[in-house]
Each structure stands twice: as structure tokens, then as C-alpha cells.
Amino acid sequence: MGFMSGKKALIVGLASKRSIAWGIAKAFSREGAELAFTYQNEKLKPRVETMAKELNSDITFPLDVANDDEINAVVPTLNKHWSTLDILVHSVGFAPRDQLAGTFVESITREGFQIAHDISSYSLAGLAKATLPLMKNSQGAILTLSYLGAIRAIPNYNVMGLAKASLEANVRFLAADLGPQGIRVNGISAGAIKTLAAAGISDFRKMLTHMERVAPIRRNITPEDVGNAAAFLCSDLAAGVTGEIMYVDGGFSKIGMHLDES
Ligand SMILES: NC(=O)c1ccc[n+]([C@@H]2O[C@H](COP(=O)([O-])OP(=O)(O)OC[C@H]3O[C@@H](n4cnc5c(N)ncnc54)[C@H](O)[C@@H]3O)[C@@H](O)[C@H]2O)c1
């Protein structure tokens, strides 16, 4: 029996088998959790349905986090299958492509700022608020995905760094509010991983090469690495952990200087 046996988890942010959400879903399923998935749009629907089936889930439904009606439909839709929800995984991030190239000062626009913060940060609070009726008193957990750009200036990450900083503050405020209602809220700051979202960041390949060379574990992070940490954080094993940003980045964020070129 896995350590997530009996848990019901909604996973938001599955797009492909490279998605961090896929690594998380696989780890949750291996540890015995029951899963439900959302897809952003009709184009992703068949792909998400097929992946869900692989993990024995037939609960999939549309959710564009920019759309309040779709956020408000989450609970009624889930209620057709489940009467409670133990875990919400928010693995969603977006900024227009022109925001993720060039310098921060050159690229930043009011519209880019608004979109990045709306989709990548507000949506966590919006979903936490909407799913509260199902999660209340569940001894449940909410998890989101952040990146080092929240606390360091990273080339080309630009406005997404600001959105991730907002997201990390969001984790702390939600943890403070929802803790008394039995819900823990944490984030994982993952190392760079080649996914569809990451492909939008200019020079992303160079980031991967750099991390592989410099990170203490001398390799890049995989969705499976993140999935295993997520399973721990969303299980009762982490019952004493909330408001935390856990780094799953091979130690990259802990290095101040790297002189050895080998
Ligand atoms: N890949 C990395 O290097 C990396 C590192 C650290 C953190 N992250 C974060 O991990 C999370 C997942 O990204 P990923 O790298 O797995 O990429 P991905 O492209 O596989 O997943 C991003 C998901 O966001 C969803 N999404 C975007 N806009 C949406 C909207 N309006 N409504 C609903 N869903 C929407 C997409 O459909 C997709 O499923 C993001 O928050 C990302 O910022 C990624």
C-alpha cells in the first residue's frame, strides 16, 4: 500500500509527458492516490484523457484558469465523482513569449505583467478559494510550482520572475489562512526542465547546460524528481510542513560560485 493510499488529488497543468504535472501524477498514482485532471483547452483534451487513462483515471474536464466560470465549475464537476478533495496540484504558468526574451527592462509591458501574474499566480488563490468547500477539514494539501527566478534575476525569465515571487507570497498567505481549516499549502521550486512551457524561454537550452555543469548533483532535474518530492509534500508524511518552498534543483540555488570547468 502506497503512502498516498485513499487520497483524492486534482492535477491542474498536464500538457504532455514532459510536463512536471506528469511526473507528479505518476508518483501520486504509484503511492496509491486517485487522480482527476483538467485540460486547458480542446486541443489538449485527447492527450490529457489518454494520459489520465494510463493512470487509471477517467475524471478529466476543461479548465482555463483565466476563466472564472470554469474555475467556479470545478467543484460541481468534481462533486459528480468525489464528495471530498484531499490534494490540489497547481502546475500552471504562462507569460506571452515576447516577455521571455531580451532584457527585463526592454521586454516588460503592462499587458505582459498582467497576464503573467493572472495565469501564474492569481490562479492559485482562485483555485484554492473555489475548491475550499471540498477540501475543508480534509487534512489536505495544496501544491504549486515555482522557479528560482522568484528570488534571483535569471536571464530571459523576466516578468515570470515577478509572477513567481507573487506566487511564493501566495503560498505563505494561503498557508496562514487555510492551515486552521486543515489544509497545508507548499511550493516546489524546481530546477530547469525541458517542457512545453520552458520552450518559450529564450536560450533555455543554455540554462540546462549551465545547470548540468554547476549544480552539485551534476545533472538536470527530471519531472520524476519533482514528482517524488511532491508526493512527500502532499502526503501525511509532511503533516508538519506548510508555507514552505522546497527546492528540487540539485542544489543549484545553493551555489555561489563554480570555478571547476570539468
Ligand atoms: N520546466 C521548468 O523548467 C520549470 C521549472 C520550475 C517551475 N516550473 C513551473 O512548473 C509549472 C508547470 O510547467 P511545465 O514546465 O511542466 O510546463 P508544461 O507546459 O508541461 O505545463 C504548463 C501547464 O500550464 C497550463 N496552462 C497555461 N496557461 C493556462 C491557463 N490559462 N489555464 C489552464 N492551464 C494553463 C498548460 O496547459 C500546461 O498544462 C509552471 O508553473 C512552471 O512555471 C517549470
Residue closest by Cα to atom 1 of ligand 1: 193
Task: Give the closest residue to 260 by CA, choosing from 208, 206, 215.
Answer: 215
pLDDT for the residue 114: 98
If one residue of 43, 65, 91, 171 were mutated to test the ligand 1 pocket, choosing by the most ligand atoms within 8 A of its CB, it would be: 91
Does residue 55 contact residue 41 with C-beta atoms inside 8 Å?
Answer: no
Instruction: Quote the percentage of the chain above a pLDDT of 70.
Output: 99
* Residue-level pLDDT at 138: 83
Q: Which among 40, 154, 189, 224 is the best mutation to test ligand 1's pocket, defined by most ligand atoms within 8 Å of the CB?
A: 40
pLDDT tens-digit map of 81-105? 999 999 999 999 999 999 999 999 9
Q: Which atom of ligand 1 is nearest to the CA of 18?
A: 20
pLDDT-derived band at 262, boundaries 50, 70, 90: low
Q: Which three cell numbers stand for residue 73?
A: 465549475
pLDDT digits (tens, 9 = 90+) for 199-235: 889 899 999 999 999 999 999 999 999 999 999 999 9
Question: How much is the pLDDT for 259?
Answer: 87
Q: Which atom of ligand 1 is nearest to the CA of 41?
A: 37
CA angle 72, 34, 224 (to 5 degrees): 100
Active site residues: 147, 157
* Per-residue pLDDT, 137: 81
Ligand 1 atom closest to 65 (CA): 32
pLDDT tens digit string along 143-165?
999 999 999 999 999 999 999 99
Question: Could you tell which of 10, 17, 19, 222 is best to mutate to test the pocket of ligand 1, judged by most ligand atoms within 8 Å of the CB?
Answer: 19
Phi, psi angles (nearest 5°) of residue 42: -60, -30
Task: Look at ligand 1, atom 34, and give the residue with the nearest C-alpha.
Answer: 40
The alpha helices in the chain, defined as continuous H runs, are 20-30, 45-54, 68-72, 74-79, 104-107, 110-117, 123-135, 159-178, 204-214, 223-234
* Amino acid symbol at 117: H
User: What's the pLDDT at 118?
Assistant: 98
Alpha-carbon distance 242 to 142, whole Å? 9
Q: What is the pLDDT of residues 119-136, one digit of tens each?
A: 999 999 999 999 999 999
Across the chain, what does the average pLDDT equal? 96
18 pLDDT band, cuts 50/70/90, is very high
CB 63 within 8 A of CB 71: yes
Residue nearest to atom 39 of ligand 1 (CA): 13
Point out the ligand 1 atom lying closest to the alpha carbon of residue 167: 41
- Domains in the chain (CATH in brackets) are 8-254 (3.40.50.720)
Q: Taking the CA atoms of the chain, what radius of gyration do you get in angstroms? A: 18
The pLDDT of residue 260 is 76
- Which residues are 143's β-sheet partners? 89, 186
Task: Report pLDDT for 93.
Answer: 98
Distance 19 CA to ligand 1 centre (A): 7
| Lowest mean pLDDT segment, chosen from 20-24, 27-31, 84-88, 196-200 | 196-200
Instruction: Report the nearest atom of ligand 1 relative to the CA of 92.
Output: 24
Give ligand 1 pocket residues (Cβ under 6 A). Answer: 13-16, 19-21, 40, 44, 63-66, 91-94, 119, 145-147, 190, 192-193, 195-198
pLDDT for res 17: 97
What is the per-residue pLDDT for 261?
62
CA 88 to ligand 1 center in whole angstroms: 15
